[in-house]
Chains A and B, each alone.
Chain A
Amino acid sequence: DTGVSQNPRHKITKRGQNVTFRCDPISEHNRLYWYRQTLGQGPEFLTYFQNEAQLEKSRLLSDRFSAERPKGSFSTLEIQRTEQGDSAMYLCASSLWQGGLFFGSGTQLSVL
């Protein structure tokens, strides 16, 4: 499968715990994006990388959130001290420059 891959698909955690999600983009894509989606809403932009450089961050990305793409390939999104309001689907996408974004299946986070 050569699409965008996200792990895990589902994550249940207790409030206050840290969680980390991984995204493997389409191999030839140089841009990688993280989005968050809650029920009944469209995806909301969190951050994006061009190669290994994090070029843009949304105001939605609080201090508890950090994203990395150390070698310009896979990326991780970490949420520290999770809160119930962090419960959402976290979507990763990749693209070639400013073209169409191709999304993974997402990681569904539930914070209890």
Chain B
Amino acid sequence: GQQLNQSPQSMFIQEGEDVSMNCTSSSIFNTWLWYKQDPGEGPVLLIALYKAGELTSNGRLTAQFGITRKDSFLNISASIPSDVGIYFCAGHTNYGGSQGNLIFGKGTKLSVKP
């Protein structure tokens, strides 16, 4: 089956720091999406990428669709306390004829440095 490898699994942030996380796959993806999930809630769409090489920003967030179509990264600049949460990458692939299956990584958990 298809898998997305998301890293790091967890990281600690201090307010004002920049944060970077990425997602890789052995297969080609047609779209890359980045979500944030707070406890007890559904994932919230942050950025959607539809073309290889595409670089898109949403406020302090920037994400890129890798040129090989097998990876994507998300950067958060000047982090603030409300950035804490779990970030998921997700992608659409037509593997095995699938048209609707959005595959998720296992998430990167952002916590505040003690």
Contacts and interface: CB of A to CB of B under 8 A. Distances in A.
A42 B88 contact: yes
B102 A45 contact: yes
B76 interface: no
Interface residues on chain B, size class: 20 to 34
Interface string B25-46: 0000011010100001111110
B100 A31 contact: yes
Interface stretch (A13-21, A63-71, A72-80, A96-104): A96-104
Interface in B12-66: 30-31, 33, 35, 40-45, 48
Interface string B89-106: 010100000111111111
A31 B100 CA distance: 9
Most buried by B among A42, A43, A58: A42
Contacts of A40: 106-107
Given A43-B43, A45-B103, A98 B90 contact: no
Nearest to A48: B100
A28 B67 CA distance: 32
Interface of A: 4, 6, 31, 33, 40-45, 48, 50, 55-56, 58, 91, 93, 98-106, 108
For the complex of A and B, list the 5 residue pairs with the smallest distance between their C-beta atoms, beginning with the closest: A42-B104, A103-B42, A48-B100, A100-B48, A45-B101
Given A41-B106, A42-B105, A56 B44 contact: no
A105 B101 contact: no
A58 B96 CA distance: 12
Given A100-B33, A103-B42, A103-B43, A43 B104 contact: yes
Given A41-B106, A103-B42, A106-B41, A56 B101 contact: yes
B100 A33 contact: yes
Contacts of A104: 42
Contacts of A91: 42-43
26 contacts: A4-B42, A6-B42, A31-B100, A33-B100, A33-B102, A42-B88, A42-B90, A42-B105, A43-B104, A48-B101, A50-B100, A55-B100, A56-B98, A56-B99, A56-B101, A91-B42, A91-B43, A98-B92, A101-B33, A101-B90, A101-B102, A103-B43, A103-B45, A105-B41, A105-B42, A108-B40
